[in-house]
Chain A
Amino acid sequence: MINYMLTIFIIFLIAPFLQGLTKSIKMYLLFKKPLSPFQPYINYMKLIRKEVIYAKESSIISRIAVFMVLGPIIMVVFLMPPVFHGSFYISFIDAFTITGLLSLSTFFLMLLGLDSASAFGGIGSSREAFISALVEPAMILTIFSISLIGKSIGVSGAVLNLNTYFDINHAASFILAAISFFIILIAENGRVPVDNPETHLELTMVHEAMILEASGTNLMLIETASALKFAVFATLFVSLFFPFGINHCWCLAVLVFIAKLVLVSIAVAFIEVNTAKLRLFKVPNLLGIAIIFGFLSLFIYYVVGE
């Protein structure tokens, strides 16, 4: 049990660091003077000291939505697959649980955007609904296909099975699922080809538009939720698609796990620097590829992998 709590604690601690690391690598690659990767922690300390102001038109939703955005994501963090061998884990988690909890969080984020009755909130909420509706089928298909390859419907069981034995016949299916999941990781966390997290230009805002009215501690909680969401997706990605390193002793396994997470943030930073942001109505092309690759991964599992 102490192992399990340690894993959860590591994910909570490292989540803002991953976001800061992505940003500082991106600034370094653009020849700017990079911020410290620990900048998000400093921001949180600053935000927590500021007072909370609600918009005049806002209702009770604005007060509770912040906690409902953070709550399901914290719940998902507790359901993550084990980081090292022999650790306690919750075994009944499948694709629907994770996708459903994340959708609950997204739903309250959209309500928060609509509640303050500003025009930008409505724009942001409609765009977020558009993107997250397209992400869900791809995510369910991908996690199902990886569960089939891992021969267990639960995510944690699949991770453990993949670590002990990897069937080379299903490598094509596995790699296609990995590509699909990486596209989902970028789309769901509002990274560059889908949404730019750094601008406040009304044409491109998705995530920023919904949280314009939040302030003080509320803003800090929402920022924490978005950092944790990235950490959840990165953890799922590295546990499912880099299945090695769990069977070492616990200190080495944790180090390998953190190295893999850092690698994912570096990959995201490189993609952000090298691609231009898509127009909003081109986003279905990218997510269509994710859906098709998820389906193709299932299809190839049945047809080719004998």
Chain B
Amino acid sequence: MINVLIGFFIATLITSLFTNRLFRLYFWYGINSLILGLIGIVIGKIYSLNELVIMGIITIIIKFIIIPTVLKKITLTFNISRDITPIMKIQYLTILVPIILVFTYYLITPVLITFSTHPNFVAIAISSLFLSLLLIMEHKRMIAKIIGFLFMENALFLLGIVSTNGMPMLIELGIFFDLMMFILIINLLFKYQGE
């Protein structure tokens, strides 16, 4: 079950690399977060860690429902242009994405034996970290870069889950409040700068 979900986690991230419409990007971010929450719930059920299940549910509520809705509302309120064509050509991306995937796996192979929990999932988490970095690099517009940051946060959350079977709940909750503040600051930024 986790295998399937992790496969779809990275697939949604790669699909979002190829989009050039803003609302499509929000949609893929929502699906990515939904899968992340489901991964948390499934791992929590398997190892009977209740805090991980709660974290999964909070992830789904905040990142799948609230954040895309708020971002959509901001976009419509401040009349932000919804065309986010990447400055990097698609042909280069087609080469770069496999290189990143293979390179990350090669990079992480010596370290993998030290992880006792899910060694191969760590490779996927780190490659999704690199891919979200690519998402930040390929866009010129700020709003798309922000979605890149949010994707990177998702990848870090996944890395936290699969490498340590869940961090303490207090830290996770702190991250969520951090994220909410982040969204508020973006709101202010758009209000006064306008793009």
Q: Are A288 and B18 in contact (CB under 8 A)?
A: yes
A172 within 8 A of B: yes
Q: Are B90 and A300 in contact (CB under 8 A)?
A: no
Q: Are A172 and B102 in contact (CB under 8 A)?
A: no
User: 8 A-B pairs, CB-CB below 8 angstroms?
Assistant: A172-B3, A172-B4, A172-B5, A172-B6, A175-B8, A299-B98, A303-B105, A304-B124
Chain B residues touching A, range = 20 to 34
A293 within 8 A of B: yes
How many residues on the A side are at the interface (Cβ–Cβ under 8 A)?
22
Q: Are A300 and B7 in contact (CB under 8 A)?
A: yes
Task: Give B contacts to A, CB under 8 Å.
Answer: 3-8, 10-11, 14-15, 18, 90-91, 93-94, 97-98, 101-102, 105, 120-121, 123-124
Measured CA separation A210–B168 after assembly (Å): 64
A175 neighbours in B (Cβ, 8 Å): 4, 7-8
Of the residues B4, B8, B14, contact of A292 by C-beta under 8 Å:
B14
A130 to chain B, nearest CB (A): 12
Measured CA separation A285–B121 after assembly (Å): 28
Q: Which parts of A268-306 form the interface with B (CB within 8 Å)?
A: 284-285, 288-289, 291-293, 295-296, 299-300, 303-306
Measured CA separation A172–B1 after assembly (Å): 9
The secondary-structure label for the interface of chain A is helix
Of the residues A171, A284, A296, contact of B101 by C-beta under 8 Å:
A296
* Chain A residue at minimal CB-CB distance from B121: A304
Of the residues A288, A291, A303, contact of B120 by C-beta under 8 Å:
A303
Q: Are A171 and B97 in contact (CB under 8 A)?
A: no
* Chain A residue at minimal CB-CB distance from B97: A292
Q: Are A306 and B15 in contact (CB under 8 A)?
A: no
A69 within 8 A of B: no
Q: Are B11 and A288 in contact (CB under 8 A)?
A: no
B10 neighbours in A (Cβ, 8 Å): 296, 300
A32 to chain B, nearest CB (A): 30
